[in-house]
Amino acid sequence: MAATGSGFCRSSPVSLRSLLIIVVIAACFQWWRDSRAPLVASAAAASELPSFEFSDALEPAVDPLQGSARGAPSVRVGRYVLKPIASFQVAGRVLGAMKYSHDREAELAPVDLAMGWGPMTNPDVLRAIDVSQGGRFYRWRTNALPIPAQEIARHSANMHLVPASEDVARELRAVRAAQTVRFKGYLLEVSADDGWRWKSSTTRADQGAGACELVLVDTVEVL
């Protein structure tokens, strides 16, 4: 016959030495967490890069809008130089949201959003597609194509997002899958002091490695 019961956890006194150890561990953890916090362009991006408003033509039904970055200077963020290569704005459905903290890219882009627009905002289409993210990639699979595969590829993309301020960083971390959002900023080419490089795609027609957009985001809005 099984026995059942309930009880209380008992506490034991904590020695001064143990308390000091706990304080040191907590301080080390805070230092580690702060050292892993993403860099943000903040004042540099806000003050040096030309600002622009969302286009009246931008909506989830249309392709992202891309324009010239002429006149937009490069900005330094820590050991990185961020060079704008195109202005960029997108509105669409969030197919997936993934946070990163342990890869080098997370120093700049702590959040990836897989975005869909046009037919990739249609609930009937999305019900037939399974979406996953990982390793800085966005993947989709389906048992029966609801639209041609080429249309899925042309109307969705994984985007690496570099927040241009602490406020934008918090807003990006709060974005969830299935929301409809819009954001704007600049596509980037990044170079590091040690020679490391990271460059955005500038077309929606490519696929595979190098096909993701790398975006310095100055404004994000949930629609």
pLDDT for 9 beyond 80: no
pLDDT for 142 beyond 50: yes
- In 3D space, the residue among 43, 88, 61 whose CA is nearest the CA of residue 223 turns out to be 61
pLDDT for 18 beyond 80: no
| pLDDT for res 66 | 98
Pairing of strands 213-222, 75-77: unpaired
Q: Residue 13: which pLDDT band, with cuts at 50, 70 and 90?
A: very low
More confident: 59 or 22: 59
Work out the percent of the chain whose per-residue pLDDT is above 90.
Answer: 70
Mean pLDDT of the chain: 84
Taking the domains of the chain in order of start, what are their residue ranges? 42-222
To the question of pTM greater than 0.95 for the whole model, the response is: no
User: Which pLDDT tens digit goes with each residue over 68-100?
Assistant: 999 899 999 889 999 999 999 999 999 999 999
- In 3D space, the residue among 202, 223, 201 whose CA is nearest the CA of residue 210 turns out to be 201
The residues, ordered by sequence, that sit 6+ positions from 84 with a Cβ below 8 Å of its Cβ are 49, 69, 72, 73, 74, 186, 187, 188, 216
